[in-house]
């Protein structure tokens, strides 16, 4: 159960980070409203707060989170950018998620 909660928290965290970065991208590259920076700041603050909710060492959380971020970014590529992931994308995501699982869920000594 802890594993599902951890992965779910990572997924929400990744979505917050992507939104916090995508909204300024829209302003800078797509000539959208500067007002997008306000929700972007909110999402980046939410991202930082969500990372702080994990009950393990920060460095371990940051390292493992990277794997989930890669997964969500590839989903974003498909859902938002309209680009279907390649087999190489899927392989890369699989390796990243395996790394996340090893980092977060490996047995630890006291």
- 30-74: pLDDT as tens digits: 999 999 999 999 999 999 999 889 878 888 888 888 999 999 999
What is the distance between the alpha carbons of residues 110 and 21, in angstroms, rounded to a whole number? 38
The string of DSSP letters for 1-55 reads -HHHHHHHHHHHHHHHHHHHHHHHHHHHHS---GGGHHHHHHHHHHHHHHHTT-S
- 6-28: pLDDT as tens digits: 889 999 999 999 999 999 999 99
Mean pLDDT over residues 91-102, rounded? 95
What is the distance between the alpha carbons of residues 65 and 11, in angstroms, rounded to a whole number? 9
Task: Record the pTM.
Answer: 0.86
What is the distance between the alpha carbons of residues 14 and 65, in angstroms, rounded to a whole number? 8
């Amino acid at each position: 159960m802890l594993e599902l909660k951890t992965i779910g928290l990572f997924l929400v965290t990744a979505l917050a980070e992507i939104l916090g970065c995508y909204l300024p991208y829209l302003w800078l590259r797509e000539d959208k409203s500067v007002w997008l920076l306000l929700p972007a700041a909110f999402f980046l603050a939410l991202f930082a707060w969500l990372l702080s909710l994990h009950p393990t060492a920060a460095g371990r959380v940051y390292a493992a989170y990277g794997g989930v971020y890669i997964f969500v970014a590839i989903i974003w590529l498909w859902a938002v950018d309209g680009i279907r992931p390649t087999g190489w994308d899927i392989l890369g995501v699989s390796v990243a998620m395996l790394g996340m699982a090893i980092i977060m869920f490996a047995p630890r000594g006291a």
